[in-house]
């Protein structure tokens, strides 16, 4: 499940070359890391990947979709959506990988991409659809389930609790505040009873 549109195993004909998939994503991330989003061009990615332009356009409708998928596959891949019945543990499991990645070398890449995401409505939409959306939904689901269980009061603010970790983490990243190892724990200490 690497390619956004899922695999379309059309019948007949030569199958898509998985080596191309990889080469394209690899090249896209490399170029982005070197030159920023504005410096990415489909032609450049194609050349670097040793691939024809059509081979990219056969997979992605445009640059935004390509980059959204590249970032997802390259640095965002933990698609684990835990649901153990322990809200705090589930939130930790979901968000700690993001904190870790933000503290690593990938942090800068991720932040740079996020910023581009804000500038380009198309890119934002693609990325939210492909990567962020169902995580956000799951966060809300976890909080609501906790209320149902009685672990949170009935009038708890579902949205704010669910968004707490992303909001604080990105706020730190964007404003260059240090992201401590225990940042996530402190956030949850603050917003969970």
Partner DNA sequence: ACATAAGCGAGACGGTACGTCTCGTCTTCTG
Partner DNA sequence: CAGAAGACGAGACGTACCGTCTCGCTTATGT
Q: Does 186 interact with a second copy (rule: CB under 8 A)?
A: yes
Residues 106, 170: contact at Cβ < 8 Å? no
**Number of residues in the chain:** 193
Q: Does 36 interact with a second copy (rule: CB under 8 A)?
A: yes
Q: How far is the CB of 43 from a second copy (least distance, A)?
A: 13
22 binds, among a second copy, DNA, none (CB under 5 to 8 A by kind): none
Residues 169, 179: contact at Cβ < 8 Å? yes
Contacts of 113-119 with C-beta under 8 Å, sequence gap 24+, read 113/32, 113/37, 113/67, 113/71, 114/170, 114/173, 114/174, 115/174, 116/36, 116/37, 116/67
- Smaller CB separation from a second copy, 89 or 121: 121
In the region spanning residues 50 to 69, those forming contacts with DNA, defined by CB under 7 A, are: 50-55, 57-59, 61-63
Among 82, 101, 111, 144, binds a second copy (CB under 8 A): 111
- Smaller CB separation from DNA, 28 or 152: 28
Among 58, 108, 119, 149, binds a second copy (CB under 8 A): 119
């Amino acid at each position: 499940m690497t390619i956004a549109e899922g695999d379309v195993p059309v019948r007949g004909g030569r199958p898509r070359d998985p080596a191309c998939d990889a080469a394209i994503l690899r090249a896209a991330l490399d170029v982005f890391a070197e030159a920023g989003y504005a410096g990415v061009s489909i032609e450049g990615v194609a050349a670097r990947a040793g691939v024809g332009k059509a081979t990219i356009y056969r997979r992605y409708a445009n640059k935004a979709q390509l980059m959204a998928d590249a970032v997802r596959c390259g640095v965002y891949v933990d698609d684990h959506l835990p649901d153990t019945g322990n809200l705090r543990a589930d939130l930790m499991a979901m968000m700690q990988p993001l904190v870790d990645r933000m503290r690593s070398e990938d942090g800068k890449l991720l932040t740079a991409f996020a910023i581009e995401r804000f500038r380009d409505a198309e890119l934002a939409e693609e990325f939210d659809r492909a990567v962020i959306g169902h995580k956000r939904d799951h966060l809300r689901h976890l909080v609501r389930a906790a209320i149902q269980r009685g672990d949170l009061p009935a009038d708890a603010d579902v949205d704010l609790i669910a968004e707490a970790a992303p909001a604080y983490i990105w706020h730190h990243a964007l404003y260059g505040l240090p992201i401590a190892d225990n940042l996530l724990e402190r956030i949850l200490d603050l917003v969970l009873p």
